[in-house]
Amino acid sequence: MAVGRPKRKNPVLRTRQATLPPAGRSRVALGMLRGPARGGLELQTCADCGAVQYPPREMCGACLSDRLVWRPHDGAGELVVETTLRHAMELHFRERLPWRSGLVRLDGGPTVVAHVHADVPPAPARVTLTAALDRSGQAVLVAVPPGAPPDLTTDPKLAEMTCDPKGRKALVTDAKSETGQAMVRALVDAGAEIVWAGVAAPWIRMPGFDAVAALPQVTVVPLDVTDGRSVDTLAAEIGHKVDLIVNTADHHRTHGLFGERGVETAATEMEVNYTGLLRLARAFGPVMRARAMDGPKGAAAWVNVLSVFALSGWPAQATWAASKAAAHALTLTMRAELQPAGVRVVGVYPGPVDEPWNQQVLPPKLSPAALASAVVAALRGTVEEVYPGDVAQDWLARLRADPKALEREMAR
């Protein structure tokens, strides 16, 4: 197989360096990440008098209480005044002027500074305040038209905060599985220019894969995440082209901690789910980091399909959940490594997916198509954690409310 080479750079042209939005935040202000990281808006609220705070602070501006908590907010308000910035000291914004911003007076709340979406009419105007993650991974507030779900992709400047698959080149690491096939189709439907479909065992025929492989945007490539040479060869061939990586590689078996003798199954789960991800990260990560600022369609995001049980364990599938927990820990490190370049790392934490190794799990279960749709929606937005499906949402709520109670409940 011929190994592709990147096109030679014109030595006269300057090399585009990453110019990200300012990333410095106080420890209190970092609390604003709670909402946009999962796709919502949370504002600091006084637990004593109920006053909503902005900007974030150590003590309530109304009653001086120090009992400030982060709570969801509907974001309803009015754009009372706006301006168009034509000069800026920050390099990121200097390259993107003019920039629209304004003051939004929240209903029953404070007045906040926000970016203003291009579809919002001139002030004064009713808006919905939403929170997003910018390319530096920090929380920003955006005023969008009320009523419809926020869509940053329709604003040419704010769209840069997203990782919209439209026009991009994506790699799906295990495209033969039911989840992998659904992911390839979802990326194609979202407008991806090329989707490389990774295949580890070409001699194994999976129902539906031939139809997926026949799509004009799809190119089947050999990829075995347990084989370092396979990973490195593919990275040398297409690494300089990939904008999005969706890691669906998964070895999944169903048994409790004492359900099987030996550790062979657990070792294979760890080899695919954790060590395989590590091989991918080392082969593709440095190139994606270097390509993050290659124009509007540079390297944008890395998605790891994990499990909500990576956060809590699951006695019914003990060693598989443990391998996903290891992959979750690695995902956090990948985010720390890639975020300074502007590459977003998204962790996807579904509940049980309706696939063969969950046959004995009672509903509700998440379909592979619904999981793939949630991933595409995340890429079109700015979130870095996705909890698709009712089970994942319920698990997350209980985990945040009382993790010890959830631990005991699972042991029943």
Task: Check pLDDT > 90 for residue 382.
Answer: yes
Quick: pLDDT tens for 157-196. 999 899 999 999 999 999 999 999 999 999 999 999 999 9
pTM, to two decimals: 0.91
Cα 83 from Cα 123, distance rounded (Å): 9
Query: 8 pLDDT band (50/70/90 cuts)?
Result: low
Quote the crossing angle between the two packed helices 390-401 and 403-410, to the nearest 10°: 120
Domains in the chain, CATH or no CATH each: 29-157 (no CATH), 169-410 (3.40.50.720)
Q: What tokens does 14 get?
A: 């300057």
Whether residue 364 is preceded by a cis peptide bond, meaning omega within 30 degrees of 0, is: yes
The single-letter code of the amino acid at 260 is E
Cα 139 from Cα 114, distance rounded (Å): 11
What's the angle, vertex CA 268, arms to CA 267 and CA 273, rounded to 5? 105
Quick: pLDDT tens for 262-303. 688 889 999 999 999 999 999 999 999 988 876 666 778 999
Quick: pLDDT tens for 229-248. 999 999 999 999 999 999 99
Identify the CA nearest to 113 among candidates 126, 121, 104.
Answer: 104
**The predicted structure's pLDDT at residue 277:** 97
SS (H, E, C) the chain: CCCCCCCCCCCCCCCCCCCCCCCCCCCCHHHHHHCCCCCCCEEEEECCCCCEECCCCCCCCCCCCCCEEEEECCCEEEEEEEEEECCCCCHHHHCCCCEEEEEEEECCCCEEEEEECCCCCCCCEEEEEEEEECCCCCEEEEEECCCCCCCHHHCCCHHHHCCCCCCCEEEECCCCCHHHHHHHHHHHHCCCCEEEEEECCCCCCCCCHHHHHCCCCEEEEECCCCCHHHHHHHHHHHCCCCCEEEECCCCCCCCCCCCCCCCHHHHHHHHHHHHHHHHHHHHHHHHHHHHCCCHHHCCCEEEEECCHHHCCCCHHHHHHHHHHHHHHHHHHHHHHHHHHHCCEEEEECCCCECCHHHCCCCCCCECHHHHHHHHHHHHHCCCCEECCCHHHHHHHHHHHHCHHHHHHHHCC
Quick: pLDDT tens for 96-127. 899 999 999 999 789 999 999 999 999 999 99
**The predicted structure's pLDDT at residue 12:** 57
In contact, 141 and 115? CB cutoff 8 Å: yes
Residues shown for the chain? 412
In contact, 351 and 366? CB cutoff 8 Å: yes
Residue that is written with structure tokens 């793939």 in the block: 372
- Rounded to an integer, the average pLDDT of 338-352 is 94
**The predicted structure's pLDDT at residue 53:** 93
In contact, 199 and 223? CB cutoff 8 Å: yes
Q: What tokens does 107 get?
A: 């209903």
Contacts of 355 (CB under 8 A, 6+ apart): 177, 178, 179, 252, 368
Task: Check pLDDT > 70 for residue 409.
Answer: yes
Quote the crossing angle between the two packed helices 228-238 and 276-291, to the nearest 10°: 20
